[in-house]
Structure 1
């Protein structure tokens, strides 16, 4: 029996990755909310409740490099049409181990569901906790397969002062398990902040979410 998505993620956080054999592993969705694709070095993972035979047939039908097939726009479009889901972008997926010590920035825990960053997190994560700093916000919550995910927001007037790096460092110090981050490849400033804070890239992720106002087809079957 194949490992669950959580097993695969836990191993990747430890630096143990699926074999770089050019194949694709298909595993069930961890919950109705989350479906998508992970791409590691020469190995992909598709997490969906769709028939694995459909996934493999759709990949085989592409005329592209097999190592890039699961992140090919044509496959992702077919998967979204099949499941009735949408996606925003393909993200770089990073992970950081828990870190000892006090956060490098003063934080106060808040409860503000109206904050745009918090509102976005509430749609995608469970068990949300939020901290405010002078000029920024730090959000932690459990997302894909229950992994601990971080999101930060830095005010325009507080940028280019190292606050983003301090906030994502603080996330590791507040955590007792690996912390995951999804960052758009074009957001070079954010990528640099996470890497400076000790997070390391582990792969790419296309997260498929239900269309606004309704669940995707896979979610409807649960």
Structure 2
């Protein structure tokens, strides 16, 4: 079992196209913060970012079984050991910043910074992210950006019912890519059952890179 450095190092590598080796291995790294632990799965490799020993993980996970760390029995045992609960089990998508000045300027002129954070989607973001910024467009759609797991930049979108199935979700997901600094990347976490959201983010240029189970207190 390979012990790597930190989850932040691994995610920054993925942002630059460098993934853990697909060696059917499991890496154990420290929890990225007091706020959360995680099990992050890539092609052929799983990273367990939690304050547990590699020997404990080895006892729970049969060698070469990459399904085990993402399935309920292991996640339940990990949650009990660390005093946490599993809050989500999502697909991870990633996209680079849009740097074209004309597109960035066009997008920003239609957005308003939202200081009222009472919306339930914003409240959820505040539980899991820091430096949260919320933007509203002319149709009442929301783009939420903040620093989440291992300090990566994450986004979420929210659509009014009247604008469902009109390509508006794809537009908001693309907007998020214009709101981050150049030479950075933005992550989206989407439950696999939310097919409409998955389609919107894929159409907006995000690529699937893995999955994650997030454990919080």
What is the TM-score normalised by the length of structure 1?
Answer: 0.89
Q: 2:126 matched to which residue of 1?
A: 122
How far has the Cα of 1:157 moved from its partner? Answer: 1.0
How far has the Cα of 1:52 moved from its partner? Answer: 2.3
| Matches of 2:86 and 2:197, distance apart in 1 | 20
How far has the Cα of 1:67 moved from its partner? Answer: 2.1
- Asked if 1:141 is matched to 2:140, the reply is no
Alignment coverage as a number of residue pairs:
207
- SS of equivalent residue, structure 2 residue 34: coil
Asked if 2 retains the 8 angstrom alpha-carbon contact of 1:104 and 1:169, the reply is no
Asked if 1 retains the 8 angstrom alpha-carbon contact of 2:146 and 2:153, the reply is yes
Asked if 1 retains the 8 angstrom alpha-carbon contact of 2:146 and 2:155, the reply is yes
What is the TM-score normalised by the length of structure 2?
Answer: 0.91
Q: Which moved more, 1:98-107 or 1:189-198?
A: 98-107
Q: 2:199 matched to which residue of 1?
A: 192
Asked if 2 retains the 8 angstrom alpha-carbon contact of 1:91 and 1:183, the reply is yes
- Asked if 1:18 is matched to 2:23, the reply is no
Q: 2:80 matched to which residue of 1?
A: 81
TM superposition outliers: structure 1 runs of 4+ over 4 Å: none
| Matches of 1:90 and 1:145, distance apart in 2 | 16
| Matches of 1:29 and 1:67, distance apart in 2 | 20
Q: Which moved more, 1:160-169 or 1:180-189?
A: 160-169
How far has the Cα of 1:153 moved from its partner? Answer: 0.6
How far has the Cα of 1:12 moved from its partner? Answer: 1.0
- SS of equivalent residue, structure 1 residue 9: helix
How far has the Cα of 1:19 moved from its partner? Answer: 0.5
| Matches of 1:114 and 1:89, distance apart in 2 | 22
- SS of equivalent residue, structure 1 residue 87: strand
How far has the Cα of 1:104 moved from its partner? Answer: 4.6
Q: 1:113 matched to which residue of 2?
A: 117
How far has the Cα of 1:205 moved from its partner? Answer: 0.3
Gaps of 5+ in 1: 211-222
